[in-house]
Amino acid sequence: MRYFRLKKRLKPFLPNVGLRKILFGTSSADEHSRKRLTLGMPATYRIRVQGFLEKRWADRLGGMNISERSREGQAPVTVLVGRMRDQAELLGVVNSLNELHLPILLLEIIESEEADLG
């Protein structure tokens, strides 16, 4: 009986997923985790930055669509929307925005090819 109590206490702390499956079996949470976004998965992202960014920068920013929103009395906001092959390409875009000294207000995933993002 003592073994089973110890087994339940150790379950959340097992780092090796394979070992966890062998000891405790699979659960619906494991099946759900297979549908999550991965680093190499293509997805469509929306990025909002504070400031003005000309449309000629689209090629350097992974071909993202660039649009500007400005309200009276507020700083202009540029919205970039585009499909990235993986998160490495997304990080390249984010680094380019950083080099241009544009503060990132929002970075969100709009849709993913294989992921069920709920």
Domains of the chain: 2-33 (no CATH), 43-112 (3.30.70)
Sorting pLDDT into bands at 50, 70 and 90, what band is 15? low
Which stretches of the chain are assigned E, i.e. beta strand?
43-50, 65-69, 77-84, 104-112
Tens digits of residue pLDDT in 31-42: 544 567 788 889
Percent of the chain topping pLDDT 70? 65
Per the confidence metrics, is the pTM higher than 0.85?
Answer: no
Residue 90 predicted with pLDDT over 90: yes
Nearest to 108 by CA among 37, 59, 52: 37
